[in-house]
Amino acid sequence: MAVNNINGSAGAQIHALYGRVQGQSTSTEQQGTQHAASAPGSATADAVSFTSTAEQLRQAEKALANHPVVDSRRVDTIRDQIASGTFEINAPRIADKMIQMERMFGG
């Protein structure tokens, strides 16, 4: 799969990441490797920082990991209710849940 038509600094970062995934290195990565190799005995420290959005996503992923992907009993119950014509849609509850989700993602 080729990554094409991406411009700007974000595009350069995407191309660099894609190149790493494909086992290629960019000229910037090669220069960094050469620089590190040319400075023997120098210790480098890597640092990682996350944006608040990334942290929220990490917390959401952690919370979701504790829940089953699909509640089969609930799906079967709803399927039976739809088939029998007894399923009721609770519009205010759906709207409230949508608002809660929007607030959770900072909207």
User: Mean pLDDT across the stretch 56-79?
Assistant: 89
Q: Bigger pLDDT: 77 or 64?
A: 77
65 and 99 belong to one structural domain: yes
Q: Cβ(56)–Cβ(106) under 8 Å?
A: yes
User: Mean pLDDT across the stretch 68-80?
Assistant: 91
For residue 46, being part of any structural domain is answered with no
34 and 58 belong to one structural domain: no
For residue 72, being part of any structural domain is answered with yes
For residue 43, being part of any structural domain is answered with no
Q: How far is CA 35 from the centre of its chain?
A: 32
- Positive or negative CA dihedral for 82, 85, 90, 91? positive
What is the band of 95 on the pLDDT scale with cuts at 50, 70, 90? very high
| Alpha helices per DSSP H over 39-90 | 52-65, 72-84
Q: Bigger pLDDT: 39 or 96?
A: 96
Predicted confidence at residue 75, as pLDDT, reads 94
Is the full-model pTM beyond 0.85? no
End-to-end CA distance of the chain: 34
For residue 78, being part of any structural domain is answered with yes
- Structurally, the chain folds into a number of domains equal to 2
Contacts for 14 with CB less than 8 Å, ≥ 6 apart: 3, 6
| Lowest-confidence region among 4-8, 17-21, 51-55, 56-60 | 4-8
For residue 94, being part of any structural domain is answered with yes
29 and 70 belong to one structural domain: no
Q: Which domain holds residue 75?
A: 52-104
User: Mean pLDDT across the stretch 83-94?
Assistant: 96
